Amino acid sequence: MDSLKSFWDAVVAFGDAIGSVALIPLLIGLAFHLLGMFLRAVAWRNIIAAALPGREVRAKPVIGALFAGIGLNGIVPARGGDILKLFLVHTRVPGSTYPMLISSLVPETLFNTIMALLLLLWAWQLGVLPSVPELPGISAFELSLAAQYPEATGILIILVVAALAATAIIQRPRLERVWNDLADGLRIFRDPRRYLRTVVTYQAAAWTTRVVSAWFFLDAFGIDASVRNALIVVMVQGISSALPFTPGGLGPKQALLVVLFSGDAPSSTVLAFSVGMEVVLIAFQFVIGLLAAASMLKGFRIREALSEARRQRRDAESGAQP
């Protein structure tokens, strides 16, 4: 409830400050955000291309699928948009399988995870990041719940791992084929130079656009637009994305930003910025994602898709037979 209250307070503050938002910096921030989405999509396309040697993997369907997935993630918790983007790529990229596409997300997120950890370390060294004992008091549900109940969190993790291990033992014959598909999704790791050239380069550029976008959003809302503050915004976005219990991370982001920017701007200004940026980004991504999904699903026949899914399942089961 505290997380919802933080979000509602931010909505009220945004409504009071909406008239003072600078339009030009806001539009520039959106343009850099869109560029970052495009660069992420190109990197993922290159990972899928490496997983399917000898096959042509066009960039357009992968870009459209990622745009659609990001758009849905903004309004659905638990990253429901990832299911949509996997489905869209599977139906548009010949030879792709769901296990391969799922495992392709590992090299796609590896660099992002490293960057997020580096940002957390940087924020901790600066002394702007709340310590673990302070987390339950900042109204950030994703963070405070685990900090409040560490024993329950540990037990839950152990149970999930045990269930996964039991499933792997029981379903071992069928999982052998799935394992091969999973390995294909990680194929790009076999060529480190290709991974650095075709994935990390684009992802590093995408991170740069995220920082620049945050800089312009800060400027649009009248908060000190510095590299430090832009990096803090990107760090908070990364934390909320990694623990997505609310649509777009709304609520926890506002609580965290108020704490981190407490000495840089009034709480009302920070609240207006945090919810304003998120609402604008969610609406922008949703429109872009809706257009992308509509374009990709044009002429799509669900009956044909179901038939193809059944055929692939039969092939997988027959291939798993000893």
Helix, strand, coil shares of the chain, percent, nearest 5, are 80, 0, 20
> What confidence category does residue 288 fall into, taking pLDDT thresholds of 50, 70 and 90?
very high
pLDDT digits (tens, 9 = 90+) for 21-61: 888 999 999 999 999 999 999 999 999 999 999 899 999 99
For the segment 193-199, the average pLDDT, to the nearest whole number, is: 96
How many percent of the chain have pLDDT more than 70?
A: 66
- Please state the length of the chain: 322
pLDDT digits (tens, 9 = 90+) for 224-235: 888 988 988 888
Which residues are within 8 A (CB) of 45 and not within 5 positions of it... i.e. 6 or more apart? 57, 59, 62, 63
Window from 8-12, 34-38, 79-83, 293-297 with minimum mean pLDDT: 8-12
> What confidence category does residue 307 fall into, taking pLDDT thresholds of 50, 70 and 90?
low
- What are the strands, taking DSSP E only, across 277-319? none
Averaged pLDDT of the chain: 78
pLDDT digits (tens, 9 = 90+) for 62-117: 999 999 999 988 787 657 788 889 999 998 899 899 899 999 999 998 998 888 88
pTM for the model: 0.75
Which range, 4-8, 112-116, 196-200, is most confident? 196-200
- Secondary structure string (H, E, C) spanning 202-266: HHHHHHHHHHHHHHHHHHHCCCCCCHHHHHHHHHHHHHHHHCCCCHHHCCHHHHHHHHHCCCCCC
